[in-house]
Amino acid sequence: MVARSVVVRLHTGLHLRPAALFVQEAGKFNSEITIERNGKKADAKSIMGVMSLAVGQGSEVVLTAEGEDERDAIEALVRFLSSDI
């Protein structure tokens, strides 16, 4: 299992299109991936789950992945959340 904390730098946070792109990126990996904010967890491959966290720019989240490609998954998702799209 790999876990990593990251501050979201996305201009709009994880709302609408960025959330869909985040879920799409998470879906590329076989590992089970969760995203956590303020003690609430969601499946990173679920658009409804990700949207329910209301992650805005500057929010700190914890990504956790468990599986064969867990390290690659965390690195890719941290890069995504750290970008400014």
* Residues designated catalytic: 15
- The 3-class secondary structure across 4-33, one letter per residue, is EEEECCCCCCCCCHHHHHHHHHHCCCCCEE
